[in-house]
Amino acid sequence: MRHDDNLTADRPTFVTHLECSMTGERYEADRLHGLSAVGRPLLVRYDLAAAARALTPEVLAGRPADLWRYREILPVRRTENIVSLGEIATPIVDLPAVARAAGASNLWVKDEGRLPTGSFKARGLVMAIAMARELGVTTIAMPTNGNAGAAAAAYASRVGIEAVIFCPADTPEINVREIAAQGARVYRVNGLIDDCGKLVGQGAKARGWFDLSTLKEPYRIEGKKTMGLELAEQFGWELPDAIFYPTGGGTGLIGMWKAFDEMEALGWIGSKRPRMYAVQAEGCAPMVRAWQQGERHATRWEDAHTVAAGIRVPQAVGDFLILDAVRQSNGAALAVSDAAILQAVDDAARTDGLLLCPEGGATLAAWRNALAEGLVAPDDKVLLFNCATGLKYPMADQSRTLDRNGPIDFASL
């Protein structure tokens, strides 16, 4: 397939091909792909030397602060296939009180809860849906713990693609309802996310649905890599010392790691990399177990449970990509308890006014442990990820009532 129109487009992409993340085998761009022949994720490759001439930090600085500003190193060929609900550059907010209480400084949160549909799943799904549109898909299907399904539903509806979504039966009510509200057909399934994934696979065979599962199509990684591009620019092209990422399928961690290499090839940053900390919950920690045992692949975690539904992922097809990045960066895979997660959410909201989601709380809890164990220094520049708005999650009822007709002791209020 030729795309000469790409040469005359106002902002072309420099995609050259796709590549198996495991074997390096080459795949043609501009065609529908799932996993590679060996069943592993495909990575999108670009002509970065040419892209470097078109896209520089100076050019970027003149563009709107959104995800599509990286157009040249994103996969969409034709500008008309771009879809958007306003994917803003998310702010990086500090946690001064929480840091001080731990004897540290320089603690930052990238607050992804500001994105459309309230989570960073918007980054991955806006790209996956734009590419599905470009490649002629009419129905997508995916398993979800909630946020991915919501983002998929929203973007699919916006471009007129049908969406069929399967979630574990105990997915939070708000997620199931928002998925339906945004136009998808959503089903609760009596199983976990990988059980839902199997249904998607069967439906794909039976009905020709396009499987949009985490890392089973190549473009969600490209959307998520914009977190890495964005944070580098926000930190003045100097990456932080450590990044704590709540890891389910690992799309964001893998995407950021890819972004760092691409930016170095583009000449935007040097060779310094943050230590990457993959954070999981004690009740579902397949990456932590594999990391501790020195394995490159992780086995399925049985009886997965945690309050942080977004990281309740028993098995990940990109396990080796997560573990490679953690090891190459000198980071670690860390597990935290649900109690520590909830405490962290409470502390950040109460003392610094930032309401984290439980998965974001997990990164704070993991940082606290890492600081106590000496894995991070008190003055290390640390970036946590808050992946969704805390408003989507149940909050403890701490309200009190007041009888306006009785005597009120204002001094006691």
Rule CB under 6 A: is residue 147 a binding residue for ligand PLP? Answer: yes
Whichever of 228 and 249 has its CB closer to ligand PLP, that residue is: 249
Binding ligand PLP (rule: CB under 6 A), the pick from 249, 274, 314, 361 is 249
Binding ligand PLP (rule: CB under 6 A), the pick from 48, 388, 389, 390 is 388
CB of 388 to ligand PLP, least distance (A): 4
Distance CA 315, CA 337 (A): 19
- Per-residue x/- mask for ligand PLP, residues 320 to 359, rule CB under 6 A? -------------------------------------x-x
Stretch touching ligand PLP by CB under 6 A, among 9-17, 129-137, 242-250, 336-344? 242-250
Stretch touching ligand PLP by CB under 6 A, among 6-14, 174-182, 193-201, 244-252? 244-252
Strand order in the sheet with 382-386: 92-94, 107-111, 382-386, 242-246, 275-281, 332-336
Residue nearest to ligand PLP (CB): 310
Stretch touching ligand PLP by CB under 6 A, among 20-28, 33-41, 60-68, 245-253? 245-253
Instruction: Please state whether beta strands 92-94 and 107-111 pair in parallel, antiparallel, or not at all (unpaired).
Output: antiparallel
Whichever of 41 and 249 has its CB closer to ligand PLP, that residue is: 249
Whichever of 55 and 163 has its CB closer to ligand PLP, that residue is: 163
Binding ligand PLP (rule: CB under 6 A), the pick from 12, 228, 240, 252 is 252
Residue in the structure block whose two tokens are 């190459």: 328
CB of 60 to ligand PLP, least distance (A): 24
Binding ligand PLP (rule: CB under 6 A), the pick from 21, 214, 306, 389 is 214
CB of 84 to ligand PLP, least distance (A): 20
Stretch touching ligand PLP by CB under 6 A, among 3-11, 154-162, 181-189, 250-258? 250-258
Whichever of 55 and 356 has its CB closer to ligand PLP, that residue is: 356
Nearest 5°: phi and psi at 191?
-175, -170
Q: How many residues bind ligand PLP (CB under 6 A)?
A: 18
CB of 168 to ligand PLP, least distance (A): 13
- Per-residue x/- mask for ligand PLP, residues 303 to 322, rule CB under 6 A? -------xx-----------
Distance CA 113, CA 119 (A): 5
* Residue whose C-alpha is closest to residue 248's, from 218, 272, 275, 224: 224
Binding ligand PLP (rule: CB under 6 A), the pick from 116, 248, 274, 361 is 248
Whichever of 214 and 226 has its CB closer to ligand PLP, that residue is: 214
Q: Please report, as ranges, the residues that interact with ligand PLP according to CB under 6 A.
A: 119, 121, 147-148, 214, 246-252, 310-311, 357, 359, 387-388
